[in-house]
Structure 1
Amino acid sequence: MVESIRRQFTRSVTSTITWSIMAIMVVALLSIFVSYWITEQGELDGQAINLSGSLRMQTYRIGLASHQQDNQALRTHLENLAVTWNSSLFAPLAQRGDDTELSRAFTLANNHWQEQVKPLFERILSLSGDEKQQATTTLLPLLDRQVVLTDKLVYQFQLRAESRNQRLRLIQVLGLFTIVCVGSLVFYVLRERLDRPLKELTHAADRFRRGDLNQRVNLSVNDELGLLADIFNRMGDAIGKTYEELEQRVASRTRDLQQQTKALQFLLDTSGTIMSAYHTPVNYRQIVRNLGQLIEHQDIEVCLFTEEGNQPYYHQNAFGTAKDCSQRDCNDCRSTSCNTTQTEMTFPITRDSKQFGLLTLHTKNTASEWEQQLIQSTADQIALALTLTEQKQLDRKVATLDERNVIARELHDSLAQALSYLKIQVTRLQKTTEKGRYDLQEPIITELKEGLASAYKQLRELLTTFRLKLDETGLEGALVQTTDSLSERSAMKVTLDYQLQDIPLSPSEEIHLLQIVREAGQNAINHSDGSHLHIEFCRLLDDQILMVISDDGVGMPDDPTKLNHYGLAIMQERARNLNGRLDITSKPGAGTTIRLKFTPDVISLRRAS
């Protein structure tokens, strides 16, 4: 794969680097090889200079031996000189026969020795006496000539050695210059084709890393770096396109989240408005107005009707006048004929299979999915508000009926019996008048006065009980007010120990407990003749509530249920409403204790779940 891609390049970076390194290596190797060869030749020149210099010394020795007429030494020196002239160092000069100063010097010196000096020495060795002396005299000029020729030969060897040394220096300088030139060329090529593109790629990559996704590399080279630049540009284009798409998706998602946040905030505000509107009616038009501002649709109507009616009792437009539907029957909108059209979209306001009305959107364009969901959620919120309103009305009716039953029981058990007793006394008084027994009327009148006083007292107690209410302080605050009221109305010391701060009680439970406390407290201050009344509320280990009301009075008779004015029956009924048990213990002279034990609704719900 790499080779196939590399073949597409007219100039490859790797090939350029390879050839550049090979060129430097070839130049260096040639320079080293030539230097080595010339150095090797220079060593032979040194030996040749030494050997040619020894020819001169041997010539002097031969002349001295001849002068001393030492034939033995002369023969030895002649043999040594002959070996020197036949040395292998001189063989190339003797065989080549080229026309050079060195070759001519060697030929002249060698021929002069071989043809003139050596034959004369050989003849001297065979002569004696005057002939030998005469030949020796003749030899001296020849020896001088031989020495001069030998000096020329040594000089020529020196010149050749110096020439080779100069040539070696020249080759080394040329090699160094060539290496410098080739290296400079390679440096320039690598800088232009490798260093500069790499710097551009590195700079582009760094800018790209810093977030400049528009950074591109402009390299018009047909090699690996050009391919890398092209791939980098394509990668930048792909990443830039992907980043742009991601930005668009993020922006779209952000808009969706903002819409959802506004929708949730609207639903939260609407729910809070509905839940807080306990004593005041819900402003449905304002809710629909806020909905229209949120979805940017102005023409929204809310239409409310009863299940039995055929005309709406509430019909409002969010920003204008509601559409006249006096000629239409509400049953038409309840049926399936009132569906969504091109210009009108309806959303039912229903809860628990009960339809309260419709939300109608008049629009030229179909609402989006989230807008339809928001409108339907608003319709559900309005349905919830209407359901809560009906439930509050029903609760008020039930509370009113319960309160009327309580009033009826209280009047029957107290004031009604007192009035019956007074009626009996009035009947007795009439009979005594008819019979003329006026002497019997005074005790009857006394009983009537006492009965009227008792009835009036019971009436005031009932009025106080009926005016009882719970404010923001809850049960504890109402109990404190009750104990203060009992203390003001009697000489008894009334104390309260309330330990139910961590138990939330329902309003019904609080009312029943408070009524029992007031009834028991009234009985205690009216009939116990005690000095202390203690009221205690606590939580037992089994999460039940215990209420204890005790006094240190005279106690109760054996059958206290016959004393209806004590209200014992009413307290028993309230205990049953609390699903609890009321126990009364009393001893003559030891006071009375009333205990109520029950499980509050919050604990029952927790156990059920």
Structure 2
Amino acid sequence: MLVKRSVTSSLAKALISIMILSVLSTGVALITVAASLRDAEAVNIAGSLRMQSYRLAYKLANGSTDLNKYLAQYQQSLLAPALLKLNRFYVPRDVQEKYQTLRQSWQELEKQILAGDPENYQFNVASYVAQIDQFVLALQRYSELKLGIVAAISFVGYIAIAALVLFCIRFMRRQVVTPLKRLVDASLHIRQRDFSHPPLDVSLPNELGVLSQTFTAMSGDLSKLYKSLESKVEEKTERLQQANRTLEVLYSCSQALSAGQLDQRAFEKVLLIVRLSEQLQCIRLNVEDNFSRWQVSSGEPAAALEWHDLVIVQDNKPVGSLNWQHQQQPPHPHLIQSVANMLSRGVYFNRAQKQHMQFLLMEERSTIARELHDSLAQALTFLRIQLTLLKRTLADNSPPAHDIIDDFDRALADAYRQLRELLATFRLTIQDADLNTALQQVLEPLKLLTPARIQLHCRLASQALNAQQQVHALQIVREAVLNAIKHADAQEIVIRCEITPDGNNQITICDDGSGIDSLDEPEGHYGLNIMSERAARLGGTLHIQRGKEKGTEVCLTFPP
């Protein structure tokens, strides 16, 4: 869009015209006034010619000796510069003719004076003075004419300037003020989100016409954009509401996972929150450990509804799946994905939490072992040394004393052996929270003590035992395998971990050795009693019996 007639250039032209008119009227008036500066002098000199003419007549009649002086003075006045300027082109012809006639008449009178003829001079001087009066009157009218011309020029200049000012005012009102007012009204309508404003004058050939065209196009575009934005805002509002609901659900799930210990109840609470929020029929979490799997669910599944699955990934490896059934609207995919990610981290932290608890237990037991080694073990060693010195001191002098010393020696040996076993038990280390991996770590050093084949079949999930339960179960398994290695002369030892039909956890240790003779432990041995105490700590039972064919079977049963 091009501007055909700019407002700026139009106003500039008008202002320049006003300035030119002002300069012209003022300049002509000043020139005219400057030309009238010597009019008064000319009138004064012309008026003085009358007095000088009569003075010459008087001097001529009396025969005055200074007649030539007055004659020269008259001649100087008649040819004064102020009168000679009357010969210029702009002086009225009447004034020039009267001045020339006056000079010609004076030549005749001058001859009469020089001839000494006072009678003719006096006779003609009256008519000559009348010519002077006519010349003075012409000079006066010429001066008045110039003042009239100045007044007329000033008046015409003022009229022209006033006309240009009125034209500028009218031009500004039509070309600037009215379009601007319409633009302001239109902008107020748009400010109030009303795009149906009164039409603008787009036919103006100036900048405001271009602005009106642009404003009209912008208003139409804004109307389309506003309608589009309204629909987008509604869509975004709906999304924000969904996001807000998602955040509330995720916050509740996060609170459920971080409120207390991260166990099966925490996962059940998370599934319950998601099921109620998304109105699901049933939702369940399946987690696959290294050699086992466990499941947590919320709601009752319906056989007629389809199951939907989402794989739970941890470190780019699948660790389980999230399954759900819905009757009406499906759950929001971002929410389900976020919940799946949160459950994945929850599974990770569950294992880490259990491992941390195990580390704390192992550290505490290592501390007890160190204390036993530094106190009781040192004391028993000192007693054995002292007992050896006592035997050497008594020599063979007192057989009864040697019998007593032998009893003391056997008792100290049994106590020292039991202390070593106790230290070995307390120094048990577990590096992994997974039950299967922890059992393998416990059995690995035991395999070095025997040529027997040790097999492990674990089907218990890591969620089946907490950290403390796992430690007790591992100690029972270790003690049972050690007994099979030391006392049964077994060739094969099998450990099975599984869930019974009634839902309890069961760990069975079977060997093909000589079999246990009695459940009564020899004096100074406490392994079976400690195993029973650990089973009681688990809230379960420990059964030790001979195998169906041979060997011994140790069965630990405890609730989940």
Aligned residue among 3, 27, 33 for 1:9: 3
Q: Could you tell me how far apart the structure 1 residues matched to 2:275 and 2:85 are? A: 123
Q: Could you tell me how far apart the structure 1 residues matched to 2:90 and 2:348 are? A: 130
3-state SS, counterpart of residue 37 of structure 2: helix
Shift in alpha-carbon separation, 1:378–1:291, aligned structure 2, 3 A: farther
Mapping 1:43-122, distance limit 5 Å: 43-70=37-64, 73-74=66-67, 77-78=70-71, 81=74, 85=78, 89=83, 100=94, 102=95, 106=99, 109=102, 113=106, 117-118=109-110, 120-122=112-114
Q: Could you tell me how far apart the structure 2 residues matched to 1:512 and 1:26 are? A: 111
Q: Tell me the alpha carbon deviations over residues 143-173 of structure 1, each in whole angstroms, 9 at most, x when there is no partner.
A: 2343343234223312321332243234334
Q: Could you tell me how far apart the structure 1 residues matched to 2:331 and 2:153 are? A: 94
Q: Could you tell me how far apart the structure 2 residues matched to 1:96 and 1:229 are? A: 56
Matched AA of 2:361: P
Deviation at 1:77, TM superposition (A): 4.7
* Alignment correspondent of 2:248: 262
3-state SS, counterpart of residue 251 of structure 2: helix
Shift in alpha-carbon separation, 1:380–1:565, aligned structure 2, 3 A: same
Q: Say if 2:322 and 2:340, in contact at 8 Å, map to a contact too.
A: no
Shift in alpha-carbon separation, 1:108–1:377, aligned structure 2, 3 A: closer
Mapping 1:275-294, distance limit 5 Å: 275-277=261-263, 284=268, 287-294=270-277
Cα root mean square deviation, aligned: 5.7
Mapping 1:455-604, distance limit 5 Å: 506-511=360-365, 513=367, 556-558=383-385, 562-564=410-412, 567-577=415-425, 579=427
* Alignment correspondent of 1:441: none
Please tell me whether residue 182 in structure 1 is matched to residue 146 in structure 2.
Answer: no
Mapping 1:224-303, distance limit 5 Å: 224-228=207-211, 230-231=213-214, 241=225, 244=229, 251=237, 254-255=240-241, 257-272=243-258, 275-277=261-263, 284=268, 287-294=270-277, 296-302=278-284
Q: Could you tell me how far apart the structure 2 residues matched to 1:87 and 1:251 are? A: 103
3-state SS, counterpart of residue 301 of structure 2: coil
Q: Say if 2:281 and 2:301, in contact at 8 Å, map to a contact too.
A: no
Q: Could you tell me how far apart the structure 2 residues matched to 1:178 and 1:300 are? A: 96
Matched AA of 1:15: S
Shift in alpha-carbon separation, 1:194–1:511, aligned structure 2, 3 A: same
Please tell me whether residue 373 in structure 1 is matched to residue 337 in structure 2.
Answer: yes
3-state SS, counterpart of residue 9 of structure 1: coil
3-state SS, counterpart of residue 280 of structure 2: coil
Higher RCO by CA contacts (8 Å cutoff, separation 6 or greater): 2
Matched AA of 1:345: H
Matched AA of 2:45: L
Matched AA of 1:510: E
Q: Say if 1:301 and 1:360, in contact at 8 Å, map to a contact too.
A: yes
* Alignment correspondent of 1:322: 301
Q: Say if 1:59 and 1:147, in contact at 8 Å, map to a contact too.
A: yes
Q: Say if 1:348 and 1:358, in contact at 8 Å, map to a contact too.
A: yes
Q: Say if 1:20 and 1:186, in contact at 8 Å, map to a contact too.
A: yes
Q: Say if 1:349 and 1:380, in contact at 8 Å, map to a contact too.
A: yes
Q: Tell me the alpha carbon deviations over residues 117-163 of structure 1, each in whole angstroms, 9 at most, x when there is no partner.
A: 4454354x2xxxxxxxxx53454353234334323422331232133
* Alignment correspondent of 1:442: none
* Alignment correspondent of 1:346: 309
Q: Say if 1:49 and 1:154, in contact at 8 Å, map to a contact too.
A: yes
* Alignment correspondent of 2:118: 136
Q: Tell me the alpha carbon deviations over residues 402-421 of structure 1, each in whole angstroms, 9 at most, x when there is no partner.
A: xxxxxxxxxxxxxxxxxxxx
3-state SS, counterpart of residue 3 of structure 2: coil
Structure 1 unaligned residues grouped into runs of 5+: 126-134, 326-340, 396-473, 475-503, 521-545, 581-609
* Alignment correspondent of 1:33: 27
Q: Say if 1:105 and 1:153, in contact at 8 Å, map to a contact too.
A: yes
Q: Could you tell me how far apart the structure 1 residues matched to 2:246 and 2:5 are? A: 60
Structure 2 unaligned residues grouped into runs of 5+: 388-407, 429-560
Matched AA of 2:124: L
Deviation at 1:182, TM superposition (A): 2.9
Q: Say if 1:97 and 1:103, in contact at 8 Å, map to a contact too.
A: yes
Q: Tell me the alpha carbon deviations over residues 192-242 of structure 1, each in whole angstroms, 9 at most, x when there is no partner.
A: 64577678879999999xx98879998634322443455466667778849
Q: Could you tell me how far apart the structure 2 residues matched to 1:269 and 1:97 are? A: 113
3-state SS, counterpart of residue 359 of structure 1: strand
Matched AA of 2:164: V
Q: Could you tell me how far apart the structure 2 residues matched to 1:357 and 1:98 are? A: 122
Q: Could you tell me how far apart the structure 2 residues matched to 1:265 and 1:304 are? A: 22
Q: Could you tell me how far apart the structure 2 residues matched to 1:33 and 1:351 are? A: 98
Q: Tell me the alpha carbon deviations over residues 532-566 of structure 1, each in whole angstroms, 9 at most, x when there is no partner.
A: xxxxxxxxxxxxxx976899999734268743498
Q: Tell me the alpha carbon deviations over residues 103-123 of structure 1, each in whole angstroms, 9 at most, x when there is no partner.
A: 6765775565456x4454354
- Using structure 1 for the length normalisation, give the TM-score: 0.48
Matched AA of 1:563: A
Matched AA of 1:121: I
Q: Could you tell me how far apart the structure 1 residues matched to 2:380 and 2:425 are? A: 29
Q: Tell me the alpha carbon deviations over residues 318-348 of structure 1, each in whole angstroms, 9 at most, x when there is no partner.
A: 3xx53249xxxxxxxxxxxxxxx9x652346
Shift in alpha-carbon separation, 1:367–1:151, aligned structure 2, 3 A: same
Q: Could you tell me how far apart the structure 1 residues matched to 2:374 and 2:183 are? A: 87
Q: Say if 2:92 and 2:142, in contact at 8 Å, map to a contact too.
A: no
Q: Could you tell me how far apart the structure 2 residues matched to 1:136 and 1:271 are? A: 149
Deviation at 1:19, TM superposition (A): 0.7
Matched AA of 1:48: A
Please tell me whether residue 160 in structure 1 is matched to residue 151 in structure 2.
Answer: no
Q: Say if 1:45 and 1:157, in contact at 8 Å, map to a contact too.
A: yes
Shift in alpha-carbon separation, 1:224–1:569, aligned structure 2, 3 A: farther
Shift in alpha-carbon separation, 1:35–1:96, aligned structure 2, 3 A: closer
Q: Could you tell me how far apart the structure 2 residues matched to 1:47 and 1:145 are? A: 24
- Using structure 2 for the length normalisation, give the TM-score: 0.52
* Alignment correspondent of 2:518: none
Q: Could you tell me how far apart the structure 1 residues matched to 2:38 and 2:11 are? A: 41
Shift in alpha-carbon separation, 1:26–1:305, aligned structure 2, 3 A: closer
Q: Could you tell me how far apart the structure 2 residues matched to 1:162 and 1:147 are? A: 23
Q: Tell me the alpha carbon deviations over residues 393-438 of structure 1, each in whole angstroms, 9 at most, x when there is no partner.
A: xx9xxxxxxxxxxxxxxxxxxxxxxxxxxxxxxxxxxxxxxxxxxx
3-state SS, counterpart of residue 43 of structure 1: coil
3-state SS, counterpart of residue 11 of structure 2: helix
Matched AA of 1:300: C
Shift in alpha-carbon separation, 1:238–1:306, aligned structure 2, 3 A: closer
Q: Say if 2:380 and 2:412, in contact at 8 Å, map to a contact too.
A: no
Shift in alpha-carbon separation, 1:514–1:199, aligned structure 2, 3 A: farther
* Alignment correspondent of 1:150: 132
